[in-house]
Amino acid sequence: MTAKLLLSLSYNTRLIAIQEELKKQNLPISHPDLLYFDQETKLGISEARKIKDHFSLKPYSAKGRGVVLEDAAKLTIEAQNALLKTLEELPKEATLVLGASSEASLLPTILSRCHIIRIQNPTSHHIPTPEVGYIENIKNLLNSEVADRLEYIEKLKNKEEFLQALIVYFHDNLLKYPEFANQLLQAEEWSKQNVNIRTILEYLMLVMPRIK
């Protein structure tokens, strides 16, 4: 298995592409066989060792173990050098996905060991635009207490439509709410697995950032 390097100037676009790669491997964000580093994580020698150790273990339930680095450009030079052998000796069923805005911060030796994919356009163009009313409601919910959010979900008539509106809104505003990215991806994964929509929305209301 060869590591994949997903390149796009847009963090949002990279995030969607990462999600698609994980979907292919049936590895949701919360899967025990997935080691996930978001864009806020500092990536040094310690993280490189965690990646090596992660791939050295047998998977719990997936075909193979996976690792995602949302922003591989944050890898220190020392960490990149430490990862070279891991890249060369990835297990057959392993998944290693690196995201980056460009290859400028990555060593040539890293680049030579990756399958580089340049993402030209966002893949979210097929997602319908939410109604203006939902956008205003989402903005209000960002300022609301949890109890008020849950009450809104309880009274909501079209929960599936509102979930889609949430996904669109936060995909378009991930740079403002980066800490919410993983939870949003998890919610999307659950929605594809026929998890109860109300349960998904209540989860999002609990973990959604609050603007004070």
**pLDDT digits 0-9 by tens, 40-94:** 899 999 999 999 999 999 988 888 999 999 999 999 999 999 999 999 999 988 9
pTM of the model: 0.57
Strand partners, 96: 67
Query: Do residues 36 and 183 touch, judged by C-beta distance below 8 A?
Result: no
- Strand ranges, E, within 23-137: 34-37, 66-69, 95-100, 114-118
Q: Which of 59-73, 125-139, 181-195 has the lowest mean pLDDT?
A: 125-139
Please report, as a single letter, which amino acid is at residue 169. Y
Indicate left, alpha or beta for 194 from its phi (over 0: left) and psi (-120 to 50: alpha). Answer: left
Query: Do residues 132 and 104 touch, judged by C-beta distance below 8 A?
Result: no
Give residue 86's pLDDT.
94
Residue-wise burial string across 94-129, b where 16 or more C-beta atoms lie within 10 A, e elsewhere? bbbbbbbeebebbeeebeebbeeeebeebeeeeeee
pLDDT above 50: residue 122: no
Give residue 212's pLDDT.
65
Residue carrying structure tokens 């290859």: 103
Share of the chain above pLDDT 90, in %: 42
CA atoms within 13 A on the CB side of 52: 15
Give residue 37's pLDDT.
94
Whole-angstrom CA distances from 12 to 1, 136, 185 are 26, 21, 12
Query: Do residues 43 and 74 touch, judged by C-beta distance below 8 A?
Result: yes
